[in-house]
Amino acid sequence: MVAAALLALAAVAALAAFELDAVSSGTAVAAQGAILQDEQQRQQAGVEAGAQLLNRRLTGIDFELTELAAATQHAVAAEKNPALPSKLVQLGTSEYSGSQTAPTSIVLPAAAPAGDISMIAATASLVARMQTLRHDYPEVEAVWIADR
């Protein structure tokens, strides 16, 4: 009789241990799932925030470049007597001016067409605007104005 009671008690103890193991295993899996979901949501929020910032920056750069292009076209159209800057350096079939410390550089063919000279003369007034663009958007490394 004692043996039957001990056997029943051992069966209940084994069943309790099995159930506790199943509960703790289920709890660990649920906790791991919650941690992974939380990490995934945190990373997704970080990616979305970075993408939104990048989109705002690119939209701002696009707006500024569009405005600069319009100002360049207006300045070229308004240029009456274009003249090349003095002290151009001739190298082969090209002429240039500029240095590492100068805010602008000019490169054009020798005996440049009038359209090129008009563009150079007109865009000189836009240098400050280009420098502001580079200051406001450090990702912009250079602003080039070219007549195609």
Instruction: Report DSSP letters for 78-129, one per residue.
Output: H--S--PPS-PEEETTEEEE--SSSS--EEEESS--HHHHHHHHHHGGGHHH
Q: What is the pLDDT of residue 59?
A: 95
pLDDT averaged per 10 residues in sequence order, the chain, 148 residues: 68 70 72 86 89 93 91 84 76 77 77 78 82 88 74
Q: Among all chains, which residue has been given the structure tokens 């002290």?
A: 87
Q: Is 102 left (phi over 0), alpha (psi -120 to 50) or beta?
A: beta
Among 10, 6, 137, residue whose Cα is nearest residue 64: 137
At 145, list the tokens.
């104005």
* pLDDT at residue 2, as a whole number: 67
> Of 148, 132, 144, 145, which Cα lies nearest the Cα of 64?
132
- pLDDT score recorded for residue 88: 78
**What is each CA distance from 90 to 77, 86, 124, 128, in whole angstroms?**
28, 12, 20, 27
pLDDT at 61: 93
Question: SS3 of 146, please?
Answer: coil
